[in-house]
Amino acid sequence: MKQLIKKILKEETSIKHRLQSMIKTIGWEQTAQLVGGDEKLAEKAFDNDPMEFLDLFKGLTKHTSKTRFDVFKNEKNSSVALYNRFNNRFHFGYNEMWKPLEMGFYLNPTEIRKIGSKWVEETFGIENVRIDEFDESAF
């Protein structure tokens, strides 16, 4: 019985990691289509924990510009977040970060801002930040 439980847990962990890897590679939307929707993806890949989802973005590379924005890019060099140093606003990319929180985890904008602010402080050390969204295609 213990062996069976270990095997099941190992398979679940393996599936979870594969789905997270797919999200990084092909994006949330395409991965969600493959598993039957946003809710199923949130459940299978993150146990419905939005902070665990946001942790996928801990490895973002910060690019400080001469303008007021810091741009945060993923491994594919795509801009997925922006930080406005002058008004202390951190902008989540809509398709990469905001939409999955909204559609997969059923968070409303107030909840996204609260969780996002906590995550930004823990991950990047930026305190009292306001979270907004932005259209990644503009960058």
Q: Which H or E run includes 72?
A: strand 69-73
User: 35 pLDDT exceeds 50?
Assistant: yes
User: 4 pLDDT exceeds 50?
Assistant: no
At residue 63 the predicted structure's pLDDT band, cuts being 50, 70 and 90, is: very high
Whose CA is closest to 60, among 126, 129, 115, 127? 126
User: 9 pLDDT exceeds 60?
Assistant: no
Per-residue tokens: 46: 């993150």
Q: Select the more confidently predicted residue: 6 or 106.
A: 106
pLDDT digits (tens, 9 = 90+) for 22-32: 999 999 999 99
Task: Break the chain into its structural domains and give their ranges.
Answer: 2-138
